[in-house]
Structure 1
């Protein structure tokens, strides 16, 4: 904005200068009285443009000069580190830091436009490597308001109390910078903090009193990211008391902070909180914390802990909730039907618990914004609710590894955006609905290990990459439409009752195929064209065991083949000459239970013969 105003003023200046010269020339005889007016006007513009620094940008060529002491401090700070390995691509901002140049023009540096003092320093992802000295000249930059040193490597460096001397600091980010040791109590002096990011400093230790003082004093603190730091010394039943000190927190991340112990039903009451993550504190036990008065919550992640008991009813009062993750706990009981009435819910993950009962059918139509639903690895029973198949926005649906039974719903009016459907390892029976095999956006379809029967109908979901129908009771032919699925990388039809006669060459049409398994289909017969070199450029796993093969299936280019299982067939004679040539890529080979007369040419560490 300032730059635009400055350019506009320059244009006005030039225009008026030209006009004034022409005007003075034209009226030089009769109207000499206008000359003093133009002189004063030009003088005013000159003063306005070149003597008011507020109209110059700190990043432009017209900036106010950097304060000399700050410039010297930055150069010394830079020289105390080397540019080494970085987890992200180093941005090399410090390459622009040159002695004798204005530090306000350096990348990563922002100056106050009046005083010239450095107020913002952003060296995140710079690749700085070395030990952070307590006497670092960085601490001379006492006017800093924003400091970002994230994703650097300050090995063997402590979080020194001098970091707490930046009295004007509003934003501090030291994430993933390899700091260690105890957080100094003086951090509570940073009373103006609005954002504190200390994530992924695994050996950075919090004490209960230190965190309490910080939350009491930093009354404007909105973002607190402490994930992957060490909070193991904080008692579990003090957590709520500590957090309730803050009225301003909007985002709180305590992921993998090594909180442990049994959490009694405690009320975490954060009036402004919108995002709460306490996930993967796997020794944190007890009941889910009470969050009923934190009504602004949008995102909750309490996964990967050891919480037990039923899902509390209060979640249904959090009407702003868009994402709820309670997976990988020990929760039991049924899903409260009221939970499925939240109007804005887009993400619901309840997998890997001990939840049971039926999936509520009547409430599901309320979830018209739901995108991700994962109920896998529980004990749900009964039929799949038909209303689940009418959700238009659903992108992933995983109900695998439960005790669901009955047919798959036949009418699919939703699922137009569905990308990933997993119903494997249940007790489902009946046929595979044809509507399921024609979904336009489907990429992964996994229905394995059920009791599905009858024929596989034509497949027109051309976006499919993974199709796993193994471990069922499917009968009849392999539909020819499978060979039109050009994006397919995995095809598993093993352990069924398929009874087709099919030319193996058809499978080579699937040019991106990585895994092919047709095993344990005793009535399936494969034929092989003589003198045909099959081209499977990406094939790494081929399982044709237990299908009554009488000849070797492949020859030609299979450069990435890693696993080959041809066991329990009727192969005889000698092993073909091309097989030893592929040995360099194979890590698993099973030719057992065949009728070979010679396998002398095979020598391999990991073969199973």
Structure 2
């Protein structure tokens, strides 16, 4: 018996431990009322695959909720191990969609300590004041779930809260006045505060939790001055203030109290000017330093190079100047971005730098760097993205760049590089921009075998050879810009079958043959530029399969076709350029509604179009019937911000052929010049009140200038020269105060040139070649301002006018008597009928001249 007792006492501790381990492995039993509350909450929402679209990983956690299973075992539900009460609910990225009710059953879980509802879809739902009843809550995350309206003041009752995260689309959520100050005052235990897109519209109060480790307030419309106390929070690890231009930030001049703890400092578009303080050199724990668009100036201070733990340094879009050096100190650096500054000097530091082994991203674009890229660079085998565009770099592109094994992005555009483009070792390229250099030779074959390439810009170089059909293997390519080179041969047929392509620019090369490309149904093409080549034949009718097409430029080729009126069915077409080809026949459209409704620029100049001006076409131009007022923002046609591609267009305006590097949506242009068009100028053009440029010159137009043109209030250039237009210049055109260039030369205009406003600024060249036109600036007098012929004294006005009228009436009267006498003799002596007809015409001319004379005087 003693032996048994001994054994029992020996194994008793083990049995207890085993028992406790077994018990702890069992989930505590969830109270039935809380399980029911959770199930009721579940049934208020549907599961939508789009509800958590912003999540990298999403999972419908509530699908596992079943009343037959203990709720403490449900996905996202955590219970107190002793009481079984639900104390944590994590429904982050759970694909929930529906209205979050103000009296939701969720508020019955009164013991909740942690609640995460982020990244679901509760569109249109208000944040209920009942959230303030979770008295034990220490963690609340309502980010990215599309709550709207006011943030209730009851949130400030959560006195135990340590983490508060609320993210909204801009102005989706807002505070009442003073409620933000009240919240920071009451939440004395707060460690982390994340507000994104919340309209706070107040200053940051001086009194807030001293325990803060994270303060991130992007897009919150704060104003005033950031309290100095923020920089001296001893536990502060991250500070992010983004897109708050009314918030002034003044950096400490001495060592910060948070120097030892601060790991991330991100300031973007806040009011921070002046130099980078040397006090930054004390932030020895800093890993991420980003100060962008803050108007910092001066050189980069040397103490900054002491931040040896820095992993990401971003000082883009400032006014920093001086050379770049000492970067070899940053052994842990993975991202370095100093673009859009005034930095100069050369990239010599790369040639002896073997410490940047972790560097993955290097961005120095839009500076004033000079010289070649060093060729003896090593130790940067992890580099994935290299951007040195818009500098003054020259020489050849060194081979080490083409040998980078993991290169995904290469941007060296707008420099002075020469030589050939070598074959790339990397097979992971997604964007290559080498445009605006002096590169030559063929397009490398390795570029045409990149399965991840979505942007290829090689324009404005001296590349030669043909465009290989293997370019169509780039399955996800979105931008193909090969314009302004010396490429020749035909356009590959398969280009129209690239389903993801948005920009196809082959302009200004030596491409020949017909456009046999078949544009397949379902393509996404928005820009097609084939201008400036030697293309022949007709416009391919498969272009009708391009429903997203905004820009079609086929100008300066040798195309021979009638007007492709069927293009009017393209719903998004805004620019149509067919200038300088061999188009012929009348310009006609069908009666179908909404044809060319979005057109803003139409250039059919220098062709062989004939017939009357297309009244039926002008009626369709709905976008030209709207005046685009200056809203302060500049919008461009076809501008998607895709990888530095912008649409250029040659237009004839203000008497010049200009290349617009970008086309404003307000640039409304009609150019039908240098054709064989005839007939009158239709008054309906006056309805196109958005017109900036109207050019109908060098045609066979006749009749009067319609007075309705005075409705074109934003017209800047009007060219009607070299036609057969007659009559007087309408006085109403004086109201065109935006008119900068007027050319009415070489017509048959008569009468006086209008005076006042813009008409007082036009030169003689605007009117030359109109023999019957009088007035300033021509040498032929048209009388003084009050209509009196020049040279008469003030006292002679009445008598002279009367004498003039008497002479005129006597002359015409005598002529009329003689004419009527001839008619009487002719009728009485039975003169031939042809003489009778001639005499009637003579009488009509006499009467017409009398009326015209009265009108003139």
Normalised TM-score (structure 2): 0.57
- The CA distance in 1 between the partners of 2:17 and 2:376, in whole Å, is 73
The answer to whether the 8 Å contact 2:469/2:494 transfers is yes
2:184 to 212, 228, 231: 212
How far, CA to CA, are the matches of 1:268 and 1:256 in structure 2? 20
Q: Is the 8 A contact 2:88 2:113 kept in 1?
A: yes
Q: CA deviation at 1:259?
A: 0.9
Distance (whole Å) between structure 2 residues aligned to residue 389 and residue 439 of structure 1: 18
Hey, what does 2:677 align to over in structure 1? Answer: none
Deviations 1:143-178 (A, max 9, x none): 322222333527443441x43443433322233341
> Which range is displaced more, 266-275 or 536-545?
536-545
1:507: Cα distance to partner? 4.2
User: Which of 458, 462, 471 is equivalent to 2:436?
Assistant: 471
1:198 corresponds to 2:161: no
Question: How big is the shift at 1:565?
Answer: 1.7
Unaligned runs of 5+ in 2: 579-857
2:555 is equivalent to residue 567 of structure 1: no
Q: CA RMSD for the aligned pairs?
A: 3.7
Secondary structure of the corresponding residue to residue 110 of structure 1: strand
How far apart, CA to CA, are the structure 1 residues paired with 2:262 and 2:35? 44
Corresponding residue for 1:133? 102
1:298/1:321 contact within 8 Å kept? yes
Partner of 2:309: 344
Partner SS for 1:305: strand
Deviations 1:417-441 (A, max 9, x none): 1111111111222222222222222
Matched, 1:227 2:199: no
Corresponding residue for residue 480 of structure 2: 516
Instruction: Give the SS at the match of 2:220.
Output: coil
Q: 2 CA distance for matches of 1:320 and 1:74?
A: 44
* Alpha-carbon distance in 1 for matches of 2:443, 2:42: 66
Q: Which residue of 2 aligns with 1:492?
A: 457
- The 5 A counterparts of 1:42-441 are 55-57=22-24, 62-75=26-39, 77-78=41-42, 81-83=44-46, 87-88=51-52, 91-98=59-66, 102-126=70-94, 127=96, 129-134=98-103, 136-152=104-120, 153=122, 155-160=124-129, 162-177=130-145, 178=147, 180-184=149-153, 187-191=156-160, 193-200=161-168, 202-205=172-175, 207-216=179-188, 218=189, 221-233=190-202, 235-236=203-204, 238=205, 241-243=206-208, 245-246=209-210, 248-263=211-226, 268-288=231-251, 292-295=256-259, 296-359=261-324, 361=325, 363-387=326-350, 390=353, 391-441=356-406
Alpha-carbon distance in 2 for matches of 1:414, 1:40: 66
Q: Give the drift of 1:485.
A: 4.4
Q: Deviations over 1:375-420 (max 9, x none)?
A: 1122222223433883222111111112222222222213211111
Q: Which residue of 2 aligns with 1:583?
A: 544
After TM superposition, give the deviation of residue 486 of structure 1 in Å.
3.5
Unaligned stretches of 5+ in structure 1? Answer: 1-31
**Relative to 1, partners in 2 of residues 1:518 and 1:35: Cα closer, same or farther, differing over 3 Å?**
closer
Counterparts in 2 of 1:101 and 1:414: CA distance versus 1, 3 Å: closer
Asked whether the 8 Å contact 1:123–1:150 carries over to 2, the reply is yes
Query: Contact 2:288–2:310 (CA<8 Å) still a contact in 1?
Result: yes
Q: Bigger shift: 262-271 or 582-591?
A: 262-271
SS at match of 1:417: coil
Aligned residue for 1:150, secondary structure, equals: coil
Q: Distance in 2 between matches of 1:158 and 1:251?
A: 23
State whether residues 156 and 187 of structure 2, in contact with CA within 8 Å, keep that contact through their aligned partners in structure 1. no
The 3-state SS of whatever aligns with 2:370 is strand
- The question of whether the paired residues in 1 share the 8 Å contact of 2:402 and 2:426 is answered with yes
Structure 1 position 599, deviation (Å): 4.1
Q: Which has the higher contact order (CA 8 A, sep 6+)?
A: 1
- Alpha-carbon contact 2:519-2:543 (below 8 Å) kept: no
CA deviations 1:66-122 (Å, max 9, x no partner) are 33443454455556x333656317744444555576433443333323323222233
Q: Is the CA contact (8 Å cut-off) linking 1:332 and 1:354 kept in structure 2?
A: yes
Cα distance in 1, alignment partners of residues 396 and 558 from structure 2: 38
* Contact preservation (8 Å) 1:74, 1:138: yes
Deviates more, 1:179-188 or 1:445-454: 179-188
- Secondary structure at the aligned position of 1:445 is classed as strand
The change in CA–CA distance for 1:441 and 1:77 in structure 2 (over 3 A counts) is closer
Distance 2:66 2:167 in 1: 32
Q: What CA distance in whole angstroms lies between the structure 2 residues aligned with 1:356 and 1:461? A: 34
Q: Deviations over 1:129-156 (max 9, x none)?
A: 334335x554443332222233352744
Q: How many residues align?
A: 549
Return closer, same or farther for 1:591/1:142 CA change in 2, 3 Å cut-off. closer
Contact 1:215 1:242 in 2 (8 A): no
Give distance in 1, aligned partners of 2:232 and 2:265: 14
Distance 1:553 1:460, change over 3 A: farther
- Equivalent pair of 1:159/1:181 in contact (CA under 8 Å): no
Aligned-pair distance for 1:324? 0.8
Q: 1:526 aligns with which of 488, 494, 512?
A: 488
Q: Please state how far the C-alpha of 1:455 moved relative to its aligned partner.
A: 4.0
The alpha-carbon distance between structure 1 residues 204 and 352, as it changes in their structure 2 partners (threshold 3 A), is same
User: Is the 8 Å Cα contact of residues 155 and 183 (structure 2) preserved in structure 1?
Assistant: no
How far off is 1:558 after superposition? Answer: 6.3
Q: Distance in 1 between matches of 2:194 and 2:524?
A: 45
CA distance in 1, matches of 2:9, 2:282: 68
Structure 2 CA distance for partners of 1:170 and 1:602, relative to 1, 3 Å? same
Which residue is 2:616 aligned to?
A: none
Partner of 1:7: none
Structure of higher CA gyration radius: 2
The match for 2:513 is 551
CA contact (8 A) 1:254 1:278 kept: yes
Change (3 A) 1:419 1:123: closer
Pick which of 447-456 and 417-426 moved more. Answer: 447-456
1:15 maps to which residue? Answer: none
What SS is found at the alignment partner of 1:302?
A: strand
Distance 1:155 1:550 in 2: 57
CA distance in 2, matches of 1:112, 1:345: 41
Residue 512 of structure 2 aligns to a residue whose secondary structure is: coil
